[in-house]
C-alpha cells in the first residue's frame, strides 16, 4: 500500500511537470507569435509611412516640375510685358521727340531770316528780309552804328557765336555781342564793368561816326534786336557808300549833358531798372530825337539765350 502511494505521488509529480512544461511552451510560442505580429505590424507601419513619404516627395517633385514651367512661363510673360512696355515707352519717347523736333523744324522753317548790310562810310546798318521771289530786297530796320579802322570794308560773312556780355580789348565789356568774323562783332557801346550802369557815355555820343577799333557798335536796343532775331549763320555784307541806305541814317540821343545816374545807362536799354524809363525831359533846349524805327508787321522772334561769357584769353576789339 505504501509502495503504491509512492508510485502515484511520482506520477502526479510527472504530470504536473508535463503541465508546467506545456504551459511554459505555450507561453513561449504565444510570446514569439505576438512579437512577430508586432514586428510585422511595425514593418507594415514603417512601410506605409515610407510609402506615404515617398508619395509625398514624388507629388512635391511632380508639383515642382509642373509649377516651374508655369513660373518660367509667367516670368517669360512678365519679361515680355516689361519689354513691350519699355518698347512702348521708348516708342512714345521717340514719337514725342520726333514731334518736338518736327515742331521745332516747323518753327524754324517759319522763322524769318535776314540779310544785314553795313555801310562803313555812312555808319549805318540796314537789315533786309526776303521778297516774294526769295531775294533779300525788303528793308526792315536801319541802325546807327560806329565802325573803326579794322572793320572790313567789303565781303560777306556769316554770324556765329553770341554772348549777352563779352570782354573786349581794353578791359571793357559789350552787351549782346554777335560774332561776324574773327574779332569783329556787333555789340553795344562799351561798359567799364559787366554792369548796365557803367556805360562809357562819352563813347555813346560818338555813335554814327568812326569810333571803334574794328567792331560794329550799336545801341543796346539794336544790338539786342540782332541778338534775338538773327540766327547763327545770318549773312553780313560790308560796303561803303555815301548813300546811307533805303531807310536813311537814324539819329541817337546825346547823353553827355545829363546827370551821372542817367548817362551811365544806355537810353535804349529795355531793362526795367533803366532810369531813362521814368525820366521826364525838362530842358528847354530842343531834344535830339532818337532814331525812328521802321514799323513792320514782323514780330520779334525769340532766339535761344546764351549764358554770360567772359574770355580773358581772347579779348575782343574795343569798340
Which run of H or of E encompasses 181? strand 172-181
DSSP 117-151: EEETTTTEEEEEEE-TTS-EEEEEEEEE-B-BTTS
Note the maximum CA span of the chain: 189
Q: Is 187 a catalytic residue?
A: yes
What pairs with residue 179 in β-bridges? 185
Residues 6+ apart with CB under 8 A from 242: 121, 122
Q: Measured between alpha carbons, how far is 223 from 69 in angstroms, rounded to an integer?
A: 72
Of the candidates 145, 183, 187, 230, the residue annotated as catalytic is: 187
Letter string b/e over residues 214-239, b meaning 16 or more CB atoms within 10 A of that residue's CB: bbbbbbbbbbbbbbebbeeebbbbbb
Active site residue ranges? 187, 215
Amino acid at each position: 500500500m505504501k509502495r503504491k502511494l509512492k508510485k502515484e505521488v511520482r506520477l502526479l509529480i510527472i504530470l504536473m511537470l508535463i503541465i508546467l512544461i506545456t504551459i511554459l511552451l505555450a507561453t513561449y510560442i504565444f510570446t514569439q507569435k505576438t512579437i512577430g505580429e508586432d514586428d510585422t505590424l511595425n514593418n507594415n507601419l514603417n512601410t506605409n509611412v515610407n510609402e506615404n513619404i515617398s508619395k509625398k516627395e514624388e507629388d512635391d517633385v511632380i508639383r515642382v516640375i509642373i509649377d516651374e514651367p508655369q513660373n518660367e512661363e509667367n516670368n517669360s510673360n512678365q519679361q515680355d510685358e516689361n519689354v513691350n512696355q519699355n518698347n512702348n515707352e521708348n516708342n512714345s519717347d521717340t514719337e514725342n521727340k520726333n514731334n518736338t523736333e518736327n515742331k521745332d523744324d516747323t518753327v524754324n522753317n517759319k522763322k524769318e531770316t535776314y540779310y544785314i548790310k553795313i555801310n562803313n562810310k555812312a555808319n549805318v546798318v540796314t537789315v533786309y528780309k526776303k521778297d516774294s521771289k526769295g531775294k533779300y530786297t525788303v528793308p526792315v530796320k536801319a541802325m546807327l552804328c560806329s565802325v573803326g579802322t579794322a572793320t572790313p570794308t567789303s565781303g560777306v560773312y556769316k554770324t556765329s557765336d553770341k554772348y549777352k556780355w563779352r570782354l573786349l580789348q581794353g578791359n571793357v565789356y559789350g552787351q549782346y555781342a554777335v560774332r561776324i568774323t574773327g574779332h569783329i562783332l556787333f555789340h553795344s557801346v562799351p561798359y567799364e564793368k559787366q554792369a548796365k550802369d557803367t556805360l562809357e557815355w562819352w563813347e555813346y555820343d560818338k555813335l554814327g561816326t568812326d569810333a571803334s577799333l574794328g567792331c560794329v557798335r550799336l545801341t543796346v536796343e539794336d544790338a539786342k534786336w540782332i541778338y534775338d532775331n538773327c540766327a547763327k549763320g545770318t549773312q553780313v555784307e560790308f560796303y561803303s557808300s555815301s548813300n546811307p541806305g533805303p531807310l536813311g541814317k537814324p539819329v541817337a540821343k546825346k547823353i553827355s549833358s545829363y546827370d551821372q545816374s542817367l548817362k551811365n545807362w544806355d537810353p535804349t536799354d529795355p531793362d526795367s531798372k533803366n532810369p531813362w524809363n521814368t525820366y521826364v525831359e525838362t530842358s528847354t533846349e530842343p531834344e535830339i530825337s532818337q532814331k525812328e524805327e521802321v514799323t513792320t508787321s514782323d514780330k520779334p522772334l525769340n532766339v535761344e539765350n546764351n549764358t554770360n561769357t567772359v574770355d580773358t584769353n581772347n579779348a575782343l576789339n574795343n569798340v
